[in-house]
Amino acid sequence: MTGATNGHLREITRRTALGALGAGIIGATVASWPRLSGTDIPGRGDNSLSIAIMGTAADAAARQRAIDAFTRLHPEIKVKVQAIQAVDWKDFFTKILTMVAAGTPPDVVYVATEGAQLFAEKLAHPLDEYVRRDAADMAEFFDDVHPSLVEAFMYKGSLYQLPMDWNAANMYYNTTAFTQAGLERPADDWTHLDFRNSLAAMRKARTSDFTPYYWTNRLFGGVVPWLYANDTSFLKETRSAGGEWLWDGFYANDPSRSLRSGGYQWLEPNANDDRVFESFDYLRGLVKDGLGVRPEEGGGSSLVGLFASNRIGTTPAGGYWVQGLHEAGMGESDFDVQFFPRWKTQRHQFGTAGYAIMKTAKDKDAAWEWIKFSSSREAMELIFPNPITTPARRSMVNEQLYAGKGPANWKVFYDTLDRFPTTGPIPAPPQQAAVETALMKNVSLAVSGDERQLKQALASMQRDLELALRRQS
């Protein structure tokens, strides 16, 4: 064979190969067109009721049985649940706003306290007319749900969501670590000083590879419970008038009726309050004496693992933690839960979540039917079969839910609301994202230096909060 033909041949095979490659790429592109253009996503662009929840496909699938039950009840309403993955609620709301910006907003969104006022102010449609219309059906629901949870979804006299699940910041503790340190189960009304003494005892019993108090730098379960216990907050808390229609209609006989209002308002920063300083100074003391960690920003992703491997003595968390600890291998008697320690008060912090109807929803009546159905005991049992959160219905927080998983004192979860009726939601005005950033970014500095650094951090928090609240958001 001569060199010339050889080269010619090579040229031909080369071209064939390149041609085949090009054809392959084009073929693959055409074949995957539905994937590329998103047209293969079921329910996209049709007129079914779209419901956005935070979570994974697995979470959406977990709702399938509830959807089936709903479809049996309302065969005329087609429902599609869209699970939106996000690291935290702030991230989730960003995604919802992106959908609004993209011109494809969902009809119903599962919104937590963090976003309740953002949605109420800008995006959501009030439920008042529906609740009034179906008052007969709703009486049973409100009867089973503590008014504190409902009040968290009141905004300027109107109700925007029905609470579905919630969690208060109680105190989890590792029973082994308590026993090793010679500690008994703390009393219901233990104080912040008792708490500190318990931490010191645990520190003495285990000097390394162990943290008596682990906490995270978040809106929920971070510094806020300590502020609430000390009867203060980083924002000035006021209430708006109104809401009588709801309270008189459904909670007329509730012992805490007189406390209820038309909703919380957070309009001014309060980081320069003396008690805020006092609470931060207490936490700073815990950090300084090696009793508590310096909290990481956006941290907490390893919390379950650390707690389950007996490296943590105490940490604030709510009922949502039980399933995670169980899955991480903790036995039902390895941990327990108690109320958050008392300071000036024993007011707790809680967060709750529920469905909101978007202003842009095409069929608001259908959306309400979904919300009403979801609030029924039947639906809530389908959605919350496990203690991955605390159901809003008192009757569902029962022996059966925690059987074999613990904690022994699961009653603490709902008792928090009954025993301390002033227990309040996470402070989250419509400018929540900016407010949260303003708080979180100053926490680490505040608790991990000297007193001067603490004062500086609180001053800068005050300034950052002022800026955040000034925004028209």
Partner 1 sequence: MSTTTRRLAGESGKRQSGKRAVGETTTPDANAPAQHQPTAKSRQSQRWLAWIFLAPTILGMGLFTLIPIVASVVLAFFHWDIISAPTFVGFDNFSEVVQDPTVRVSFLNTILFVVVAVALQLGLALALAIMVQEKMPAWLRVFFRSAFFFPLILSAASVSIFMRYLFNEQFGVVNWFLSLVGIPAVPWLTTPGGSAAVVIFVYVWQNFGFSFLLFIGGLASIPVETYEAASIDGATGWRKHLYVTLPLLSPTTLVASVMAIISALQVFDQPYVLTRGGPGDSTRTAVMVIFESAFQRLEFGQASAIGVLLTLIIMAITAAQFRLSKRFVFYQ
Partner 2 sequence: MTTTTDHGLAGHSPRLSEGLPETSPNRRRFSWNFAIRIVLLLIAAALTLGPVLWTLSTSLRSPSESFKLPPSFFPWNPDFTSYGEVFQQLNIFLLVLNSALVTGLIAVGQMVSAAMAGYAFAHLKFRGRGALFSIVLATMMVPVQVTIVPVFMLIRGMGLSDTLLALILPAIPTAFGTFLMRQYFMGLPAELAEAASIDGASPWRTFRSVYAPLAMPGMAIVGILAFNFHWNEFFRPLILTISEQNFTLPLGLVSLQGNLGTGSISVVLAGVVLSMIPALVVFMFGQRALQDGLTAGTGK
Picked from partner 2, partner 1, none, the partner binding residue 471 (CB below 5 to 8 A depending on kind) is: partner 1
Q: Which is nearer to partner 1, 123 or 181 (CB)?
A: 123
Task: For the chain, give the number of residues.
Answer: 473
211 binds partner 1 (CB under 8 A): yes
Rounded CA-CA distance 71/67 in Å is 6
Task: Catalog residues that contact partner 2 under the rule CB under 8 A.
Answer: 14, 25, 28-29, 32, 35-38, 40-41, 54, 56-58, 82-89, 95, 98-99, 101-104, 209, 216, 218, 220-221, 300-306, 308-309, 311, 317, 320-321, 324, 328-329, 388
Q: Which is nearer to partner 1, 300 or 316 (CB)?
A: 300
Choose the stretch contacting partner 1; rule: CB under 8 A; options: 66-74, 233-241, 327-335, 462-470: 462-470
473 binds partner 1 (CB under 8 A): yes
Rounded CA-CA distance 148/196 in Å is 29
Among 4, 101, 136, 252, binds partner 1 (CB under 8 A): 101
**Best CA proximity match to 178, nearest among 382, 337, 350:** 337
Among 11, 244, 289, 296, binds partner 1 (CB under 8 A): 296
Picked from partner 1, partner 2, none, the partner binding residue 148 (CB below 5 to 8 A depending on kind) is: none
440 binds partner 1 (CB under 8 A): yes
Picked from partner 2, partner 1, none, the partner binding residue 434 (CB below 5 to 8 A depending on kind) is: partner 1
* Size, binding site for partner 1 by CB under 8 A: 41
- Kindly list the distances between the CA atom of residue 385 and the CA atoms of 53, 109, 397, in Å, as whole numbers in the listed order: 17, 21, 11
94 binds partner 1 (CB under 8 A): yes
Q: Which is nearer to partner 2, 220 or 343 (CB)?
A: 220
48 binds partner 1 (CB under 8 A): no
65 binds partner 1 (CB under 8 A): no
Choose the stretch contacting partner 1; rule: CB under 8 A; options: 188-196, 372-380, 381-389, 464-472: 464-472
User: Shortest gap between Cβ of 253 and partner 1 (angstroms)?
Assistant: 41
Binding residues for partner 1, per CB under 8 A?
A: 90, 94, 97-98, 100-101, 122-123, 209, 211, 217, 293-299, 301-302, 306, 311, 431, 433-434, 437, 440-445, 448, 457, 460, 463-464, 467, 471-473
